[in-house]
Amino acid sequence: MGQKTDYTNAGQQRILKLVVLLFGHEMHGATLTDVAKWMGVKAPVALRDLDNLQTAGLAEQTETNRWRLTPRLPQKALAMLEAMERAQQRISETRQRYTRGGN
């Protein structure tokens, strides 16, 4: 095996953490102050991260200056669950076909 390289980037890791933290705040959103506190960073850093999420279409600012995720990620999560349900249905159908009393 080759030498392992660490590609971890602190800024990218912080943004990924922010996405996870914003889940559950879809209705009312979170203030910039709250986000900065949760992330353990100053407000300008939190704002930059939120702006990057907004540019990517993953976060939005509400009329009351609060931040929340857009429906984009939850929609993807629901699509994944639906795909898993379809796969489970195919597994069940295959299991039934192979466990029926046969010839």
Tell me the mean pLDDT per 10 residues along the chain, length 103. Answer: 83 96 93 97 97 97 96 90 96 91 58
Query: Do 88 and 98 lie in a common domain?
Result: yes
Quick check: is 101 in a domain? yes
Residue 24 in tokens: 């559950």
The number of folded domains in the chain is 2
pLDDT of residue 1: 62
Q: Whole domain around residue 56: which residue ranges?
A: 9-69
Residue 102 has a pLDDT of 55
Q: Give the pLDDT of residue 101.
A: 64
Core vs surface per residue 29-39: b (16+ CB within 10 A) or e: bbbbeebbeeb
Query: Cα separation of 78 and 71, whole Å?
Result: 10
Q: Give me the count of residues in the chain.
A: 103
**Residues 84 and 54 occupy one common structural domain:** no
Q: pTM of the full predicted structure?
A: 0.74
Helix (H) or strand (E) holding 47: helix 43-55
Q: What is the pLDDT of residue 80?
A: 95
Q: Which of 20, 43, 18, 17 is CA-nearest to residue 32?
A: 43
Residue 4 lies in a domain: no
Question: Contact at 8 Å (CB) between 16 and 2?
Answer: no
